[in-house]
Amino acid sequence: MYLSRFEINTARRGAKNMLVSPQRLHAAVLAAFPGRSAGTSDEGRVLWRLDESAAGTKLYVVSPRRPDLTHLVEQCGWPTTQTWDARDYTPLLDRLAAGQRWAFRLTANPVVNRRRNADAGRSQRYGHVTVNQQNDWLRDRATRNGFKIAEGTGGEPDLAVHRRRTWKFAREGRQVTLATAVFEGVLEVADPAALRHALTHGIGPAKGYGCGLLTLAPVTTAERPGDG
């Protein structure tokens, strides 16, 4: 597995066109993996996340194969000064152990499945809309994904949700509405194998649209997701 980081030059026209649509970003990420092996495998699947901050806009990609992001450098990067950073993810995955504490970041699509009414045959996904609902959504999934949220000051969970956003974009002739939230905090490893699976296969729905990628960093360097 590989963890790759690409810095986007937001001043370029190609970047502006791409950043308004998770569908366009999804296509751009998959273009880095020609052939049929870009999807899910036993080892993991392609996951990506866009991090936007005062320090810049960065694209993170986790993948079973090393990506070729040349096309992104040409469209929305700095072709004459920098390309991208791709690191072997295996050392980080292999050293996970129960009891470790890591700073984490996750962009997710917190949803609940329910029927519109009692007569409806199939359930539908509805986005959680409040911070409490979104925090509960992640805490409910922590155990099955091999971790628990660590306690912070005053015994409260060390968990914060921010950059809550609703995306609307076109896909195959219809409009897609996608609610996302960024979760940050400190987790404690409970089941290393389950956490490795979460790191390489993602958490929650909408993984093709930049959701589900959980990254870790030492607690003292929380602003460097995945550097481990």
Can you give the pTM of this predicted structure?
Answer: 0.88
What is residue 73's predicted lDDT score, i.e. its pLDDT?
A: 97
Residues 7 and 77 sit within 8 Å (Cβ to Cβ) = yes
What is residue 151's predicted lDDT score, i.e. its pLDDT?
A: 92
Digits of tens for pLDDT over the chain (228 positions)? 999 999 999 999 999 999 988 999 999 999 999 875 555 567 899 999 999 988 899 999 999 999 999 999 999 999 999 899 999 999 999 999 999 999 999 999 998 766 555 555 565 666 566 788 889 999 999 999 999 999 988 888 999 999 888 888 777 778 778 889 999 999 999 999 999 999 999 999 999 999 999 999 999 754 445 544
What is residue 137's predicted lDDT score, i.e. its pLDDT?
A: 93
What is residue 169's predicted lDDT score, i.e. its pLDDT?
A: 78
